[in-house]
Amino acid sequence: MAESSCSARWGLKRKITLGISVAALFLYAAITIWLAFETNIGDKFLPSDKEFIYNNQIFTPSKDSEESNQNDNDHAEQNSKANISNSHWEYYSLLSSSLVEFKDYDISAESSQRFQKIPSQIPNISCFPLKLGYSDSQADELFNPWKSFDSCSDEKNQFLFFNSSNNKLEMNCTENPQYALGSLIETESFGSLLIQIKWNNYTSPVDIGQREFAYGKCGRQIQTFLVNKFNKKVADEAKEKSREINQFLARRKPHRPLTVFYILIDSLSRLHLYRNLPLFIDFLNSNIVTGKYSMDFLAYDFLINSAQGENTYPNMIPVLYGHNSSFHDDLIGGKGFSFRRKADDWIFQGIQQNSLWHFYKENGFVTMMGYDTIYDFLAKGLGKKIQTDHQAFNFWSGAAYTYGYKDFLELQQCLGLHNSHYYMLDYTWQYLNNYSKINKFAYIHLSTAHEESGTVIRTLDDDLVEYMEKLVKYFYDNPDEDMMIFVGSDHGKHTKEWDRSYEGYIENKLPSQFVITNRKFISRIDAARNLKENSLRMVGKFDWNLTLKQLAVSPYGKLDPKSILYNQWKKDFFVKDSISLLLESASQDRTCSDLGIENYLCTCIRWVDIAYKQQYKPVTVLADLAIKSINNQIKESHASCQLVHLDNILTAKEHQIRGEEFQNRNITITISIKESQKALYEVNGFAAEATKEFRRLELDDPYGFNPSERFTQRFPKGLLISMKAQLHSIKRLDIYSHNCTKPESLAAPYCFC
């Protein structure tokens, strides 16, 4: 509805804006649509051919932007400093009317529920999936349960060191020692980047300059380090901004510093986390549910945390920006902009003004982002230059050169003494300590689970537990600081089999999401009850965006759910039923459409009856394939059975699992045969677009028991698609005897003398 109104508005603008160039027209449309949905109060856009005005900041491409975008950054910075009092006065006034002073609510009776795969309390909600994912036996067939991994540091001595006191790389090696310096901090680039590593002979400690990583070689071994360097200017800016807000709100006490870490483990469903990170679950149960930290911390496991799409992009754009990925694409690619062109960096800088990290920065936080990828899957929407105070990107591009690192390898990836993910976790640990007593936000993205075998994620368990132990102990030892740590995923486990079964489909659509926080903070913002209830309700990506937005203002007071600020966020939001999970309790009657989730992506979708089954080719083709498979098995068994013929298609249901461009669907039908009046068979199969999609899902069929067939089908809106169907399984439903063949014979369920 909202998007159609945007289209109408765009049409009107096009009619009245005569004489503007085509390029300006496209940009004008993007800005007009954006204006309708922006969530920040006071944001204003003034369209012009090459100008993007946002929050009183002017973004415009410099004349030599193809050579360098440095001038763009300088121009934006100069404009952001102008009118700073005016630009913030309105927002601070809004904060003042929306935040109430803290008081400690009694949550002494609150406790974390014991974490288990299938919870003891099944929620009474309208949209609840029939299953939560693969059964243990299914998972064991798909993901080798016996696969284990060694430590990266076994029988290796550390020879490469970083001396933080003098900023120097040091080596303890007698076997042809060499070193290579990483890239400069200012060159951090998100996604793919070709980094050439130059090796030099090591003779004495080496100053690494404005760099955060380097490599050392001793004989045939290579080691590395990644350090987070304290930035005094950034720290002072965050402290001054916090002081300014607190002073404007006339708070009697200094604010309590808040740490918000959003730790995302790509492609990790809730059940796959339970299967493969048992030490992490045990840490939560033994330390926070009960144990040393149970009186100071709480943790929550969100049971129905719904995915917004099949992969990272459609799931993270809503979390990071608060609008859906198709709208984001219209802003960028639909207007001819590309993240690959430096000349277009300015448009991404402008759009990042609506990102979470910008919002946190504006509310007195130091910000950080890290992603261990060497690909551009998310960079196409965020741009190559991320405007956070700290970034950790180039380290992994360097690792690709030195270690052959890749995101999606079905192998353990050791970078020297540690697994690849260790360095990101350790970087945020250093970041936490460097900015102690200061508000800080970090979004880190780990790819350990993003590979087909489903086993490499096990290498994360020890490192994650060690990290969480340090993290929780830090806040236990620093009770004057608050924290909320998110450990979760963008979407669930992908396997080649993921959408051949209902369980696999659900596994992909229910990513993990845990929240760990300190009791003092939850008490002050009165969020314990809402968190507990929402952990058993259906929640979505837009909810997390609003939740994270609330956290950005939470150091300064408790957000009033009736406030202008909160309701303006909701009013201008893409999905009107989204809520902050700290501030409101989600309805028990929530549906996928309430969360902006397409029907074919919905976790509680049920099989749909096919009314005209005799005229629907995916059904008739599957019925014919079933008869073909039965007869092939009869022939293979050499039993004294007659071949069978289709009598009737009695029932037919389907479950669509991808959008119209693919038409992937699981199909189940019941058929009868002419050779028996009582024999009934349940037939299961799938149909998909005939080329790329079908090949991705196709079962091997060496014996002709899982035959496939190509056909064309016309769908609503006149869409004609070339498809292919394949039989998965046949199950006889009635009771039968074995007159003409042995009970163990393949043909036994199909044999008629």
Q: How far apart are CA 196 and CA 216, in angstroms?
A: 15
CB contact at 8 A, 508 and 310 = yes
Decide if 190 contacts 385 (C-beta within 8 A).
Answer: yes
**504 — pLDDT class (breaks 50, 70, 90):** confident
CA distance 179 to 170: 9
Chain centroid to CA 168? 37
Segment 315-370, tens digit of pLDDT = 999 999 999 888 888 888 666 788 888 888 888 888 999 999 999 999 999 999 99
The answer on pLDDT for 470 being more than 60 is yes
Edge to edge, the sheet with strand 206-207 lists: 160-163, 168-171, 206-207
pLDDT at 523: 94
Pair 61, 52: CB distance under 8 Å: no
List 714's β-bridge partners, or say none. Answer: 720
Distance CA(268)–CA(510), nearest Å, equals: 9
How much of the chain exceeds pLDDT 90, in percent? 55
pLDDT for position 690: 86
The pLDDT of residue 15: 38
Give residue-wise pLDDT tens across range 561-592: 999 999 999 988 878 899 999 999 999 999 98
Is residue 77 predicted with pLDDT exceeding 60?
no
Residue 385 tokens, joined: 């230059």
Highest mean pLDDT among 13-27, 135-149, 418-432: 418-432
- 561 three-class SS: coil
Mean pLDDT of 261-270: 97
| Total-model pTM | 0.80
- 596-618 average pLDDT score: 81
Greater confidence, 557 or 86?
Answer: 557
Residue 606: strand, helix, or coil: coil
- Contact in structure between 424 and 413 (CB atoms under 8 Å): no
Name the more confident of 741 and 98.
Answer: 98
Output b/e per residue, 428-441; b: 16+ Cβ within 10 A.
bbbbbebbeebbbb
In three-state secondary structure terms, 696 is: helix
Residue, of 454 and 11, whose pLDDT is higher? 454
3-state secondary structure of 297: strand
Question: What is the structure's pLDDT at 567?
Answer: 92
Q: What is the pLDDT of residue 576?
A: 81
10 pLDDT above the threshold of 70: no
Q: 32-64: per-residue pLDDT in tens?
A: 334 333 433 233 322 333 444 333 444 455 444
Nearest to 190 by CA among 404, 15, 410, 443: 443
Q: What is the pLDDT of residue 369?
A: 99
- pLDDT of 659 reads 66
Q: Which residues on adjacent β-strands are paired with residue 59?
A: 52
266-280, 282-296, 368-382, 720-734: which has the minimum mean pLDDT?
720-734
Instruction: Give pLDDT tens digits for 178-233.
Output: 999 999 999 999 998 888 889 999 999 999 999 999 999 999 999 999 999 999 99
